[in-house]
């Protein structure tokens, strides 16, 4: 082989002196020389083709990576392309790994939120919940809130993350009465540590409670809010965006008709066909500077209250609520079930406070529960002395309040759990007796 290559280098005239086998005829030496030259040329062609293929492969990979980066940074509508692996032009069949997609979206989301606490309304909210558990400094000081944050959020404070939406105080309707709240604190729970609100909507009532507690110097109270933040039946049925429609009457004459709802309010603030109540709640709490006290739990009333009971039974939180504000679905029988679960987790001597006593569903279930429990009568005179006298909303005539139920100004009501009550309540027994 070496002799043949040398013969090619030195030319055909010297090939006779460098044949592979001197004894064979010269014609075999020439044939060998030609074969080796052909093989060498083909080898060079193969190397050239391989180099060309490698270059093209690098270009294709670079083009794909560039397309991914370009589409993940620009138009937000391309997020679906990234997730589903579709694009109008280009790499229609390319599907990047899900981990890479999540990482790209998270990087983009954090970059946007660094510029502003509020994301442009055109950005799909489906991007917002992608923030992974990443503990950040928390402002809260309440013991129970810290325990709950550790147990259910792995120390990742939900209020430490920007909500990705602007505050919205367009719904200013709340029956929470600060005078009643302060009177209950003074009379029954002067050293409040754990306040539970069931049904929070867009934070109207919990913000008022936080305002009063801070005014009283009680900054270390844990304000826990349980709500699925999906809206109730009325919110879905009445949800409209026309601000010119304030109310609707069943009959044409408002004086003789029945008011059936506020149709002009955008309760749900739909975006991407999903309610945005939860991020609005967080944005409103942050707007008023109460993220140091308020901790939301995005769960139904039943799931949330049973979770509180379970965590206490397992020794994962140190105490139960001293005051519970029940302002959730207002559906008959559902309110009765919520009353039982709230009573179960309320500390002895604590206050179960509620709203909308004027609603027949609420009124009937509250009175039925007080009767079933055999609760002692409460004296209304202190409330009259404080100027928080009882008014008679519709329905009082045919269904007066149970003696244990105190109603203030026709809306708010409360029940006091006797101080000698055992910790907890047999919910199954309560179900049977309340049938």
Domain boundaries of the chain, sorted by first residue? 1-115, 143-231+268-433
Instruction: Report which of 244, 246, 190, 200 is spatially closest to residue 221, judged by C-alpha positions.
Output: 190
Per-residue pLDDT of the chain (435 residues; tens, 9 = 90+): 445 445 545 554 444 444 444 444 444 455 555 666 677 777 777 777 777 777 777 776 677 666 655 554 444 443 433 334 444 444 444 445 556 655 666 666 556 555 544 444 554 544 444 444 455 677 888 999 999 999 999 999 999 988 988 999 888 778 899 999 999 999 999 999 999 999 999 999 999 999 999 999 999 999 999 999 998 888 888 777 655 555 544 444 444 444 445 556 788 888 888 889 999 999 999 999 999 999 999 999 999 999 999 999 999 999 999 999 999 978 889 999 999 999 999 999 999 999 888 888 899 999 999 999 999 999 888 888 887 766 555 555 556 789 999 888 778 899 999 998 887 655 544 444 444
Angle at 28 between CA 22 and CA 31, to 5 degrees: 130
Please write down the long-range contacts of 70-76, taking CB distance under 8 Å and 24 or more positions apart. Answer: 72/104, 72/105, 72/108, 73/108, 76/122, 76/123, 76/124, 76/127
CATH fold for domain 143-231+268-433: Rossmann fold (3.40.50)
Residue showing tokens 């959730």 = 328
In angstroms, the CA 321 to CA 319 distance is: 7
Given a contact cutoff of 8 angstroms between Cβ atoms, the answer to whether 285 and 150 are in contact is no
In angstroms, the CA 62 to CA 83 distance is: 20
Residue showing tokens 């002196």 = 17
In angstroms, the CA 262 to CA 247 distance is: 4
Alpha helices in 130-189 (DSSP H): 143-153, 178-187
In angstroms, the CA 293 to CA 224 distance is: 8
In angstroms, the CA 435 to CA 433 distance is: 6
The pLDDT of residue 383: 84
The pLDDT of residue 32: 56
Q: Which residues are within 8 A (CB) of 135 and not within 5 positions of it... i.e. 6 or more apart?
A: 154, 155, 156, 157
Residue ranges of E strands in 293-405: 294-297, 323-326, 351-354
Please state the separation of Cα 379 from the chain's center in Å.
Answer: 42
Q: What is the DSSP letter of 158?
A: G
């Amino acid at each position: 082989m070496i002799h043949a290559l040398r013969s090619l280098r030195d030319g055909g005239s010297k090939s006779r002196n460098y044949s592979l086998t001197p004894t064979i005829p010269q014609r075999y030496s020439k044939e060998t020389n030609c074969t080796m030259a052909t093989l060498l040329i083909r080898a060079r062609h193969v190397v050239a083709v391989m180099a060309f293929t490698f270059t093209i492969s690098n270009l294709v990979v670079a083009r794909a990576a560039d397309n991914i980066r370009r589409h993940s940074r620009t138009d937000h509508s391309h997020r679906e392309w990234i997730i589903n692996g579709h694009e109008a032009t280009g790499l229609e069949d390319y599907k990047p790994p899900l981990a890479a997609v999540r990482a790209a979206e998270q990087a983009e989301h954090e970059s946007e939120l660094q510029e502003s606490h509020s994301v442009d309304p055109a950005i799909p909210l489906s991007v917002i919940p992608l923030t992974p558990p990443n503990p950040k400094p928390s402002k809260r000081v309440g013991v129970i809130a810290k325990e709950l944050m550790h147990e259910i959020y792995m120390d990742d404070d939900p209020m430490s993350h920007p909500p990705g939406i602007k505050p919205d105080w367009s719904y200013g309707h709340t029956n929470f009465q600060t005078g009643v709240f302060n009177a209950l604190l003074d009379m029954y729970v002067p050293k409040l540590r754990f306040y539970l609100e069931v049904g929070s909507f867009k934070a109207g009532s919990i913000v008022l409670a936080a305002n009063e507690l801070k005014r009283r110097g009680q900054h270390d109270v844990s304000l826990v809010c349980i709500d699925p933040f999906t809206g109730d039946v009325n919110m879905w049925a009445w949800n409209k965006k026309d601000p010119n429609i304030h109310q609707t009457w069943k009959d044409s004459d408002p004086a003789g008709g029945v008011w059936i709802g506020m149709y002009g309010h955008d309760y749900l603030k739909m975006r991407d066909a999903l309610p945005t109540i939860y991020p609005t709640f967080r944005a409103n709490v942050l707007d008023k500077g109460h993220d140091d006290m308020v901790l939301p739990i995005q769960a139904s009333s039943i799931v949330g209250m049973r979770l509180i009971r379970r965590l206490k039974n397992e020794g994962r939180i140190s105490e139960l609520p001293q005051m519970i504000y029940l302002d959730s679905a207002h559906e008959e029988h559902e309110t009765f079930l919520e009353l039982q679960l709230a009573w179960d987790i309320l500390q002895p001597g604590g206050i179960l406070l509620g709203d909308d006593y004027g609603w027949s569903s609420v009124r009937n279930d509250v009175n039925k529960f007080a009767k079933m429990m055999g609760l002692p009568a409460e004296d209304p005179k202190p409330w009259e002395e404080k100027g928080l006298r009882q008014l008679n909303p519709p329905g009082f005539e045919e269904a007066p309040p149970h003696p244990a139920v105190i109603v203030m100004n026709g809306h708010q009501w409360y029940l006091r759990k006797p101080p000698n009550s055992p910790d907890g309540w047999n919910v199954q027994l309560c179900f049977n007796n309340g049938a």
